[in-house]
Structure 1
Amino acid sequence: MTNKLLTSLVTATALTLSATLPTSALATSPALEKDHEYLVVANYPNNMHVIDVETDRLYKSCALPDAFGPGALQMAPDGRTAYILNNHYEDIYGVDLDTCEVVFHAPMALQSSERTKSIFSFAISPDGKELYVVQNPTLLFRDHYRVQPSRLAVYDTSAGKNAKPIRTFPSPRQVTVMMTGDDGTLYMAGPDIYAVDVETGAVDVAIPSRNWERPLYAPPDVLNVWPIQSPSNDFTILYTTARFQDENYNLDTADWIYGFMNVDLETGETSTKDFGPITEIYFSGILSPKDDNLVFGVLNRLTKYDIEKKELIGVAELDHSYYCIAMNHAGDKIYLAGTFNDVAIYDADSMEKLGEVQLPGGDMAISTSQVFIR
């Protein structure tokens, strides 16, 4: 046997073992520390990583089951279990970050002839006992597919590794990211921002979006992908729009504006605010947890706006695009994730780069990064 062939066989064997070993066998570093701040993110080939926010170093890595994609994450309120939408948008897993063990698994297809996907739309109840997910099922027949109505499925998070819904309700279509308020209300970002009673399935409009009525404003264009659990405990959705000078609705003289729709998850108070002119496109944004007059956005650059003045007041040039933004609870550090396999760290005041964390494995693609306290 040649050395080259032997090397190939050893490499193939290692890859096979890494794919089949239980996730706990591939865990690195100890359990998380109580009252300590961390960031969690996922990447290819199918890993979950925990970064220590105090030292800005990789703390541990966990291998995940099945396939990657999209890697959208939400943290349980106790800071112990990370829930991830994965396996090509078709399964949700709950991972104990102390042990890297999968403690919850919900395959969203409820029958063998069904293929069901969720488009980033899942959330955890404020007490951590229930998980909510909007599912988009399709029945597969030999000669055609039949699209089914969207549904809101409610799971008991203690149901284990073959969880089934304990309640289901009809859901609006085109729902993406979701968050829960402290009172248990589920907020969905779809054509409008909806407030949903998770016990009855009743749906109300919390913030008009597609159907807003703002004189001289064009309908907003909204991108909702990353369910960011903000340290300021709010649900923020960016929009772009045009504001016309008069009822002639002349696009040539219109002001092109960035803004956000916001739900205060503690009080349920809602707001819609413009914060600055369109100078570029942002994929995600976040309000500062220490100064609610500041909003940050990211894609090709990291930017900071004064909301009251509607002015761009800070810019950081980036090494490459980043999709997802997060902040520590003190509000002095910004974490940028998505695209490649590096998490960039910036000072929120000076907008200077503080460093980066290189993740084992491949790119993060459109994974969500979440900062949390254990």
Structure 2
Amino acid sequence: MNNKKMWLGASFAALYLASAGAYALNESKPLSKGTEYLAVANYPDNLHIIDVTKDKLVKTCKIPGKFGPGTVVMSPDKNRAYVLGNGFSEVFGFNVDNCEIEFRAKFSQQRNEEARSMFSFTVSADGKEVYVVNNPVLKFSEHYEVKQPRLFVYDANGGTDAKPIRKFPMPRQMYIMQAADDGSIYIAGADIYKVDVHTGKYEVAIPVRNWKRENYGAPDVLYFWPHQQKNRDFSILYTAPKFKDAKQDMETADFKYGFYNVNLATGKTETIDFAPVEEIYFTGYRDPKDSNTMFAVLNRLTKYDIKGEKLLQAQELDHTYYCITFNDKADKMYLVGTLNDISIHDPQSLKKIGSIKLPGGDMAITTAQTFIR
């Protein structure tokens, strides 16, 4: 009886692992030139490529190591999908045509060191370099030693054992970043910094913790999703109290949703309120067709008039979603994160128009990216 129970237990475990999605699909089948795709990761080790024209899964690559966080960044030529994985400790560069890992960088630099990147990596606008801010800790038998965060610059052709070609100290609490057309990078931290990748020098591009907006309290930011947008915007949501007067009475304050924005093509920066805080959102995305319209998502999908700070529409969802992305024509919205289904919506009506069920487990806090091969 005990042997039978053990056999049944092992069988159920095997079935569970199979249902969790530990497999690959069409790894060596090239993508079609001119076709639009969506890249997204999920548990336990999957990088999925979806044909956006058909809303159908076409390829799955296996990500080595432990899952997490599954943040995806596409190379400018759309040949590679870079994924932050193995428990925030490595970046992998997948050839999207054959699933081969062409780039791999481990952040830990010595035997007793552990280093993690909190979503903080990107690829240069010309695709030649990869940038990572990571946070190292030295582990000793009786204590840990927290070291200075650092910016690593890698050659994108550094191979599967890539080593940093330049290193610079960075402030603490750095997280998502994106690369600008002028060769610099913008990194979100206590403030949003513009960084020279050749010298390591940085300056405040947008004050966040240290803003000096009259009659505003300190802003709050929780944003882990570096959307690569067609209009070259790098946007991050914030919430903040707006006071009636200099007394700064929290009891009478209006709480605002807003967004910081850097246009990566021009360097123009913005800090703009767009809505009263009436529910919680994790991500927002300005309409690619109309810069005065903001979409936001968590428990509902919503649409706002930015200048009017007015809710235009809201759509109830089957469950929570964390992340928004658009197709190239901006006539379809894709909601990802949490479970293993992608919800597809019409940006005009916000109504659900489709769904894609992914093999494997939940997508957690992955960032989805659309691209044309």
Q: Give the TM-score band, short-chain normalised.
A: over 0.9
Please tell me whether residue 40 in structure 1 is matched to residue 29 in structure 2.
no
Q: Counterparts in 2 of 1:6-85, with a 5 A limit?
A: 8=10, 26-28=25-27, 30-85=29-84
CA RMSD of aligned residues (A): 2.3
| TM-score for the superposition, normalised by structure 2 | 0.94
Whole-angstrom CA distance in 2 between matches of 1:235 and 1:42: 21
1:298 aligned residue: 297
* Alignment of 1:213 onto 2:198: no
TM-score (norm 1): 0.94
Q: Could you tell me which amino acid in structure 2 is paired with residue 144 of structure 1?
A: H
Residue 189 of structure 1 contacts residue 224 of structure 1 at CA under 8 Å; is this kept in 2? no
Moved more, 139-148 or 3-12: 3-12
Aligned to 2:353: 354
C-alpha distance after superposition, 1:295-349 (max 9, x if no partner):
1111111111111111110111000001111111222211110100001000001
Query: 1:254-295 CA deviation, whole Å, 9 max, x = no partner?
Result: 111000000011101001100011111111111111111111
Residue 155 of structure 1 is matched in structure 2 by 154
1:27 shift after superposition: 3.4
Q: Which AA in structure 1 matches 2:33?
A: K
CA gap of 1:12–1:314, structure 2 versus 1, over 3 A, is closer
Deviation at 1:11, TM superposition (A): 7.8
| Comparing 26-35 and 173-182, the one that deviates more | 26-35
Secondary structure of 2:230's counterpart equals: coil
* Cα separation, 2, equivalents of 1:311 and 1:252: 22
| Identical columns (%) | 52
Q: In the TM superposition, what is the alpha-carbon distance from 1:2 to its structure 2 partner?
A: 7.6
Cα distance in 1 for residues equivalent to 2:6 and 2:25: 27
Query: Where does residue 143 of structure 1 map in the other structure?
Result: 142
- The structure-2 alpha-carbon separation of the partners of 1:9 and 1:215, relative to structure 1 and needing over 3 Å to count, comes to closer
Whether the 8 Å CA contact 2:21–2:361 is kept in 1: the answer is no
Tell me: CA distance 1:214–1:99, structure 2 relative to 1, closer, same or farther (3 Å).
same
| Structure-1 separation of matches of 2:5 and 2:143 | 51
Specify every segment of 5 or more residues in structure 1 that has no aligned partner in the other structure, as ranges. none
- One-letter code aligned to 1:164: K
What is the deviation of 1:224?
Answer: 2.1
Shift of residue 5, structure 1, vs aligned partner: 4.0
State how 1:281-296 maps to structure 2 within 5 Å. Answer: 281-296=280-295
Distance in 2 separating the partners of 1:12 and 1:340: 21
SS at match of 2:360: coil
CA contact (8 A) 1:231 1:328 kept: no
CA contact (8 A) 1:232 1:287 kept: no
3-state SS in 1 of match to 2:291: coil
Task: State how far apart, in whole Å, the 1-side matches of 2:307 and 2:218 are.
Answer: 22
What are the superposed Cα offsets for residues 158-208 of structure 1, whole Å, 9 maximum, x if unpaired? Answer: 111100100000111101100011111100000100000001111011001
Corresponding residue for 2:328?
329
Q: Which residue does 2:168 correspond to in 1?
A: 169
3-state SS of paired residue (1:161):
helix
Match of 2:253 in 1: 254
Give the conservation status (yes or no) of the 8 Å contact 1:231–1:327.
no
After TM superposition, where is structure 1 displaced by more than 3 Å over at least 4 residues in a row? Answer: 1-16, 25-29
Q: Please list the CA deviations of residues 17-76 of structure 1 after superposition, one character each: whole Å capped at 9, or x if unmatched.
A: x999xx9x7535731112221111000111010111111111211111111111111010
Q: Secondary structure at the match of 2:251?
A: helix
For residue 236 of structure 1, what is the aligned residue in structure 2? Answer: 235
Give a deviation string over 1:92-120, Cα, whole Å, max 9, x none.
Answer: 11111110111111010011110000000
Q: Deviations over 1:196-245 (max 9, x none)?
A: 00011110110011111110001110112111111221100100011111
Q: For this pair of structures, how many residues does the alignment match?
A: 370
Letter in 1 for 2:232: N
Output the CA distance in 2 between the equivalents of 1:238 and 1:11: 41
Report the counterpart of residue 225 of structure 2 in structure 1: 226
- In the alignment, the residues of structure 2 paired with residue 9 and residue 254 of structure 1 have an alpha-carbon distance, to the nearest angstrom, of 59
What's the CA shift for 1:84? Answer: 0.6
Q: CA–CA distance in 2 between the matches of 1:19 and 1:326?
A: 24
**Matched-pair contact (CA < 8 Å) for 1:29–1:59:** no
* 1:372 partner letter: F
